[in-house]
Structure 1
Amino acid sequence: KRAHVVRAGDEVEVEVPEARPTEIAAEDIPLAVLYEDPHLLAIDKPPGMVVHPSPGHGSGTLVNALLHHVRDLSGIGGELRPGIVHRLDRDTSGVLLIAKTDLAHASLSRQMKKRSMRKEYLALVAGIPRVRKGEISRPVGRDPRDRKKMKAFPRTGETPAGAREATTLYEIEREWPALGLTLLRCRLVTGRTHQIRVHLAAAGLPVVGDPVYGRPRLERARDPSLKKALTDFPRQALHAERIGFRHPASHEPIEIIAPIPEDLSRLLSLINGRKL
């Protein structure tokens, strides 16, 4: 029992689980390379791909693919995350940076910590913002009612332990008022887990297809085929479109852009009324 106090002379039995191998298998999984040099690699991560192995995802991850395609990777992230500088959610698509050397890993991590790395996302949301450009600044932490989810807490009142300051900037890229839909360009000032999804949901602008933070009702989309496409979209309509940073070795500015993936492109085409 948790309240039991162990005393001198007590016998304690401990069951030690069998050690699990940490070796990760290299797998010949195709990768879309956006940029590569001796220091770093930029990948266009497809939706549905997990970044690194975790319970329930021992294979088929980006790391499994990297071990097959890349000879050397930074070891700073540990055995399970070689080369991984930052992450994207499984069902978020877009550009992801990979460090080949420890020097590159340290430089990129430092830029993220100093918030000099620019990360921009495209998000298709339900609702029309009241302003064309805005800022959402609310602490983000674990939801006390469901520890598997994150939550944006109001700035007034007591912030739960573990919640951290988080800021997302956004501007309207395209809007369809008659449909109640907006394509937002979001910029991360901080990088908390699920930050954009949580912030937009808290602002009343939930991301289309988001299964965790509320699938929107989409009442204005009355065309049956469009409503079905929006309702059945199998993932959050969120794409990491571009990232800007200083090269770890040359210190020259670099911007890498990932094209909008086919599934989201088809949905936007349908919204625009063009033939698929």
Structure 2
Amino acid sequence: MSDHRSLPVPDGLEGERLDAALSRLFGLSRTRAAELITAGDVLVDGRVPSSKSDRVSGGAWLDVTLPPPPAPVVAVPEPVPGMTVLYEDDDILVVDKPIGVAAHPTVGWTGPTVLGGLLGAGHRVATSGAAERQGIVHRLDANTTGVMVVAKSETAYSRLKRAFKERTVSKRYHALVQGHPDPLRGTIDAPIDRHPSGDGRFAVVAGGKPSVTHYDTVEAFRAASLLEIGLETGRTHQIRVHMSAVRHPCVGDLQYGADPTLAARLGMTRQWLHAVRLGFDHPATGEPVTFESPYPADLARALELVRDES
């Protein structure tokens, strides 16, 4: 059932764009606010606004019909082929996430998830957090492979969430990128937010969330470089966005400007990016622990081909 709201524009929003004002008032994304305006679900002083970019006046009367909240997404417990558990105790599970598996269910994702796979294999996970994200303290993109930790106990959940937030977790990735970064070792410090196109990509955007990526060249080839990457922040698609922004996209990452010819030659159908190592203080004992994941077959094969060509 839809939800109808009538209220005046607060004086503090005087002069704001209508879509921005709706976003602030109702916690909507700018895109969703614009959709409501286009659909005729927003009236300003009883009239249909001419555009989402109309400026609002303090005290103007808004009538807004909000859509019903989406049904909660829940993990379907079913084993995920190829997902292995690297380590398990009473507090944590460490998995080696394969290609094509999301961390947890989201609206629009119908594929397998780490959470569903663990539940399907009979593992217990923490129930803290939103139902669709229980136990999940950090994420990897669906097509980024590698090591990922999941909380089993409620204590582990809260301590690991804090550790990721306070950036005391060591996250190391290997990426095969096009060309040769100059300098060979460096830091990319550039804010990231959703791409203005609204097509699901992210981009370096003025006023975005602060994002810091450190990289170091491990091996240079004729057409590409193997980098070890450390993250200070954990933005969605951060490594992919930052490497693309400095014109060295991950090999195979067509969404972020990689060369399709090179990708096809190396048999890459996704970005060459792997979470190779994860280190943190164990949430129960406080002892430092480190877990590693070897390259999966598609990445190892592409790397060999690049080596052979060089």
- Which one-letter code corresponds to 1:94 in the other structure? G
1:165 maps onto 2:218 in alignment? no
1:21 Cα offset (Å): 6.7
Shift of 1:207: 0.6
The match for 1:156 is none
Q: Hey, what does 2:249 align to over in structure 1?
A: 206
Equivalent-residue separation in structure 2 for 1:215 and 1:83 (angstroms): 34
- Paired with 1:15 and 1:109, the residues of 2 have a C-alpha distance of 32
The aligned residue for residue 278 of structure 2 is 243
Deviations 1:118-175 (A, max 9, x none): 001000000101222100000111112335211113xxxxx23xx1110000000111
Q: How many residues align?
A: 253
Cα-Cα RMSD: 2.5
Larger % of helix: which?
2
* TM, length-normalised to structure 1: 0.83
In structure 2, the residue matched to 1:257 is 292
**SS of the residue 1:212 aligns to:** helix
Which aligned runs of 4 or more in structure 1 are off by greater than 4 angstroms?
A: 14-23
Q: CA deviation at 1:83?
A: 1.1
What residue identity is the alignment partner of 2:228? R
The residue type paired with residue 188 of structure 1 is L
User: Unaligned regions of 5+ residues in structure 1, if any?
Assistant: 7-11, 154-158, 222-226
CA drift of 1:5 comes to 4.5
Give me the TM-score of the superposition, normalised by structure 2: 0.75
Tell me: higher relative CO, structure 1 or 2? Use CA pairs within 8 A at least 6 residues apart: 1
In structure 1, what residue type is equivalent to 2:216?
E
* Corresponding residue to 2:139 among 64, 77, 87: 87
Considering only CA atoms, is the larger Rg found in Structure 1 or Structure 2?
A: 2
Q: CA deviation at 1:236?
A: 0.4
Offset at residue 228 of structure 1 (A): 3.9
Change (3 A) 1:113 1:18: closer
Amino acid corresponding to residue 3 of structure 1 in structure 2: L
In structure 2, the residue matched to 1:75 is: 127
1:27 and 2:72 equivalent? no
Q: What residue is the counterpart of 1:174 in the other structure?
A: 219
1:60-85 CA distance string (max 9 Å, x none): 22221111224421122321112111
SS of the residue corresponding to residue 131 of structure 2 reads: coil
AA matched with 2:164: M
The percent of aligned pairs where both chains have the same amino acid is 37
Which blocks of at least 5 consecutive residues in structure 2 are unaligned?
A: 1-39, 47-62
